[in-house]
Amino acid sequence: MWQHTVKKEISFVGIGLHSGNPVKLTVKPAPADSGICFQRLDLAGDAVINASMHRVSDTALATTLGQGDVLVSTTEHLLAALSGLDIDNVLVELDNDELPIMDGSAAPFVHLLKKNRKVQKVDRLMMKITKSMTFQDGDIEVTVKPFDGFKVTSNIVFDHPVIDSQSYTVNVNFETFAEEIASARTFGFLEQVEYLRANGKALGGSLDNAIVIDRDGVINAEGLRFGDEFARHKILDVIGDLALLGCPLLGHVIATRAGHTQHVAFMKMLAENQECWQLVHRDENGFENVLDKVVMATKAAGKKVLPFLLPPMPATVQRVAC
């Protein structure tokens, strides 16, 4: 399978969900093997951050990347759009510290990006799951199992009759991501929104960019886009966060009650358990070439793929390895 970038610069304008600040974002073509990078144009110097789990600095309410004084927040929806459309290499420029929330989903990004994909005739490096692994923290679980493709299941439970228990599974590819997942919006409860605003968060939130639920139900006039939109949006978040692995994953990910914090912890645990996966190149005919992980770790391209030396996981986290 070949790598992809974009044909031309593509710009989006909006506001940050939490900051409420206006922001312009531009996705630019990038060379093969360069991955996804964010650049803050409003800061002096080389204010660039790689889209890597190494750079995750905060997972409260959104996935924030940080390096020194450079922060880029609410990255998950754009990263999901790029991952879902198999776009590997871009430079993302923005003139503020938070990506625009658009309509609360990845659909506005997908609408333009899917028309402007450009093939780069360089093999994609992929992480193929060979043995099952589970990250567990209380009643939160993220499991990955071998699967010939990329499949995601989200299981969620909320103490509200509108959501209650929902589950959704999708075999993720270019078409299914655009049709089933991309337009699912972020959501929150009215009392939570009021609390967040009182604490300087969700300042850009509105009924135009989020599903808002009160005690009686969804207060957005147009209602839901899907009956299980909440579970679908959780899949969107999983896909966006897993883009921080640095290469596509071949496997079935099952996330139960999980959020950004658990997604990142799962990726770090996965990287540690190298017996559970292989790095492969898969050509257009489906034939695979298995790469040596130790060799990859010494190559310049390898540093953007996975962390091979990691600090220990917190003692409170249960490890359920292969």
Check residue 266 and give its pLDDT. Answer: 97
The counts of H helices and E strands in the chain are 7, 21
Check residue 315 and give its pLDDT. Answer: 40
C-alpha closest to that of 233 among 262, 258, 264? 258
Number of domains within the chain? 1
**Per annotation, catalytic residue among 233, 252, 260, 263:** 260
Residue 319 β-bridge partners: 135
Q: Tell me the residue range of the domain where 46 lies.
A: 2-320
What integer best gives the mean pLDDT of the chain?
A: 89
318-320 and 133-137 strand pairing: antiparallel
Check residue 287 and give its pLDDT. Answer: 65
Q: pLDDT tens-digit profile of 115-125?
A: 999 999 999 99
Sheet holding 70-72, edge to edge: 56-58, 64-67, 70-72
Residue 260 catalytic? yes
Tell me the C-alpha distance between 219 and 189, whole Å.
10
pTM: 0.91
Q: pLDDT tens-digit profile of 126-166?
A: 999 999 999 999 999 999 999 999 999 999 999 999 999 99
CATH of the domain at 127: 3.30.1700.10
Q: pLDDT tens-digit profile of 64-101?
A: 999 999 999 999 999 999 999 999 999 999 999 999 99
Cβ contact 230:158 at 8 Å: yes
